[in-house]
Amino acid sequence: MALFKVNTGLREQEVVNLSWQWEVQVPELDGSIFVVPRRFVKNGLDRYVVLNRIARSVIESCRRKHPERVFTRNGRPITKIYNSGWKGARRRASERYAKELGRPCPKGFQSLRVHDLKHTFGHRLRAAGIGFEDRKVLLGHKSDHVTTHYSAPEIGTLVAAAERVCELGSRKSHALSLVRPKQAAVSN
């Protein structure tokens, strides 16, 4: 789910509720997208989810495991990402970081939040040179400029934009973007 989230920019509840009935085949693209109904989307608009090759591979690895939900564990739908599995993976990744790089893992990495994956996708889109309007659509942000009905060429442009994230080789910035709220000033 984390790999899917960092390659689609979906919010946690959009990921855990992802349903096979929301998948829409787009013959012109020789693939599919997902349309998340507005009742599951924070901004109250249907969410169009285009899949780059990594997100498509995640979807294919989940296919036929459950009749309704995409993400399951032991045959049951997963209801949240921030759970003991997330915490354990984060701990193991921190230990691996320290072992492989020979220095302590940064505190921000050790406390990586699920929502940081959405920010990371946004930062990767920008680093890949994706324009502001396409980033808004791919991140599911509300905009007067976004239409609710896409044509195949427009979806194709969005798929190409999401695909460019996979092509980023080396980056000068961190692989994961950590966004923290500003600390409240302590008054004397």
Local structure of 126: helix, strand or coil:
helix
* Contact by Cβ (8 Å): 33, 155: yes
The owner of tokens 């564990």 is: 73
Write down the pLDDT at residue 148. 27
- Entry pTM: 0.75
Q: Dump pLDDT digits (tens) for 110-122.
A: 899 999 898 888 8
Sort strands 23-26 and 76-77 into parallel, antiparallel or unpaired.
unpaired
> Terminus-to-terminus CA distance in the chain, angstroms?
45
What pLDDT does 175 receive? 56
Q: What is the pLDDT along the chain (188 residues), one digit of tens a residue?
A: 999 999 999 999 999 999 999 999 998 888 999 999 999 998 898 999 999 999 999 999 999 999 999 999 999 999 999 999 999 999 999 999 999 999 999 998 889 999 989 888 888 888 888 888 888 889 888 754 433 222 234 677 788 888 888 887 655 555 565 555 665 554 44
Pairwise CA distance, residues 119 & 28, whole Å: 30
CA distance 149 to 173: 35
Which residues, other chains included, contact 50 with Cβ-Cβ below 8 Å and sequence gap of 6+? 8, 33, 138, 155, 158, 159, 161, 162
The residue extents of the domains of the chain are: 2-83+114-167
